[in-house]
Amino acid sequence: MSWHGRELIIQLPKEHSESIAVLKACKENKVNGVIVNQHSLKLVKDSGITAYSESDLADVHIVNDVQGVKTAKAAGQTSVMVLQIESKADIEEAVAAARAGAIALIVDTSDWRIIPLENLIAELRGTGTKIYTKISTVKEIPTMFGVLERGVDGVVLAARVPAEIKRAKDKLVSLASLDIVIAKVEDVREVGMGDRACVDTGSILRLGEGMLVGSAANFLFLVHNESVGSEFTSPRPFRVNAGGIHSYILLPNGRTKYLSELECGSPILIANWKGQTDTAVVGRIKIERRPLKLVKARSGKQSGAVLVQDAETIRFVTKSGHPLAVTQLKKGDEIMVRAGKGAARHFGIEVDEFILEK
């Protein structure tokens, strides 16, 4: 399974007993492939998962140099090349492998992690050859898929326990696209004073990007960042004035939190009007008492509401990706929301029980 173009390949442990448990988790979590030694090759092939191995019987033949790519191609075999990126010469070898017919490169880097991958991604752009990079922990996944904004095509994780595979899959799911839909505004009105949360991140957000917040977990509004300045305010592209402290906010792992629960270091989900997502980290939460405005909207049979500060710098996102200030928002306007299934939430986790939020 590919999570919107992002692939997960697992390297099996050498110990047979460990590899059986890990392979079972690979199948349950629908990983893209498994790197395996010759002794466990039949086990992997019987499971139906794509087997990567140095054996000629593998689904994908692993080679270590350009000549190996050429030999595999002559024999009608699909091949990937494994290489260490430490110098410009290694980049040149990677390009040669791509031109020779390697469908992918499995790369490892030295202490310099990002710059070599940036160079490799730039060099291989347009060749059709995929780039898989080795990682040591699940925490590296968002970084690897964010290199040069395009990111690598997949990651290779040497997993020793099944739980690592589930964590890796959950991380990939969190980076996948969301269903962001158009909703029609039904009501906009002042509701008095209240406490709102301003979320300052450690990232520069772009036009059309924001956070998903709302009073109901199954109907979240895309609230735009403050990258657009005005005559009276400077741009603050790291900030989203997200709304009332009671509001749900969607996190990278698919769970929700109340805005009041966020703090410095909390991971946060960033989304745009197309549903493309990214992650950021909270640098600061500012909770202050401000005049609030109620916004209600509907998409199909679903409707929801959100409380936001009544100010020109608080903006929603239109279907063209442009910001629309709440001070200009009116009944009939169209804005972007995430309207999901009506699942209940228990400590931010979806649970299968009836709940009505309004």
Last residue of a domain, one of 175, 192, 212: 175
Burial category of 35 from C-beta neighbours within 10 Å (exposed 0-12, middle 13-18, buried 19 and up): buried
Distance in angstroms (rounded) separating the CA atoms of residues 311 and 157:
47
Distance in angstroms (rounded) separating the CA atoms of residues 342 and 205:
29
Distance in angstroms (rounded) separating the CA atoms of residues 35 and 61:
10
Q: Is residue 356 part of a domain?
A: no
Q: Is residue 125 part of a domain?
A: yes
Q: Is residue 1 part of a domain?
A: no
Assess whether 28 and 90 both reside in one domain: yes
Last residue of a domain, one of 175, 203, 224: 175
How high is the pLDDT of residue 169? 84
Last residue of a domain, one of 175, 202, 228: 175
Q: Is residue 358 part of a domain?
A: no
Assess whether 129 and 211 both reside in one domain: no
Q: Is residue 155 part of a domain?
A: yes
Assess whether 165 and 208 both reside in one domain: no
CATH of the domain at 15: 3.20.20.70
Domain count of the chain? 2
Assess whether 284 and 324 both reside in one domain: yes
Do 217 and 251 touch, CB atoms closer than 8 A?
Answer: no
Assess whether 97 and 15 both reside in one domain: yes
Q: What is the DSSP string of 288-324?
A: EEEEEEEEEEEETTEEEEEEEE-STT-EEE-TTS-EE
CB-facing half-sphere around the CA of 273: CA atoms within 13 A:
20
- Cβ contacts of 235-239, under 8 Å, gap ≥ 24: 236/200, 237/204, 237/205, 237/206, 238/200, 238/201, 238/202, 238/203, 238/204, 238/205, 238/283, 239/198, 239/199, 239/200, 239/201
Distance in angstroms (rounded) separating the CA atoms of residues 181 and 288:
31
Give me the residue label for tokens 């009105």. Answer: 189
Assess whether 331 and 189 both reside in one domain: yes
Q: Is residue 79 part of a domain?
A: yes
Range of the domain at 39: 7-175
How high is the pLDDT of residue 214? 97
How high is the pLDDT of residue 176? 67
Do 291 and 193 touch, CB atoms closer than 8 A?
Answer: yes
Assess whether 194 and 315 both reside in one domain: yes
Dihedral, 21, 160, 8, 138 alpha carbons, nearest 10: 130
Assess whether 130 and 15 both reside in one domain: yes
Digit-coded pLDDT (tens) for 114-124: 777 888 888 88
Residues near 249 by beta carbon (within 8 Å), at least 6 away in sequence: 199, 211, 212, 213, 220, 242, 256, 257, 258, 259, 262, 268, 269
Quote the pTM value. Answer: 0.60
Give me the residue label for tokens 């929801």. Answer: 304
Give me the residue label for tokens 């197309």. Answer: 274
SS3 sequence of 184-218: EEEEEEEEEEEEEEEEEECCCCCCCEEEEEEEECC
What stretch of H or E contains 334?
strand 334-339
**Among 84, 78, 50, CA closest to 65:** 84
Assess whether 186 and 292 both reside in one domain: yes
CATH of the domain at 283: 2.170.16
Count how many residues are written for the chain.
358
Q: Is residue 357 part of a domain?
A: no
Assess whether 141 and 207 both reside in one domain: no
How high is the pLDDT of residue 357? 66
Assess whether 222 and 299 both reside in one domain: yes
How high is the pLDDT of residue 72? 94
How high is the pLDDT of residue 16? 77
Q: Is residue 2 part of a domain?
A: no
CB-facing half-sphere around the CA of 190: CA atoms within 13 A:
8
Phi, psi for 325 (deg, rounded to 5): -65, 145
Assess whether 22 and 142 both reside in one domain: yes
Chunk the chain into consecutive blocks of 10 residues (it has 358) and report each block's average pLDDT, rounded to whole numbers: 70 84 89 87 88 92 95 94 89 93 88 75 86 87 68 85 87 77 97 97 94 95 92 90 96 88 93 87 96 97 96 96 96 94 51 56
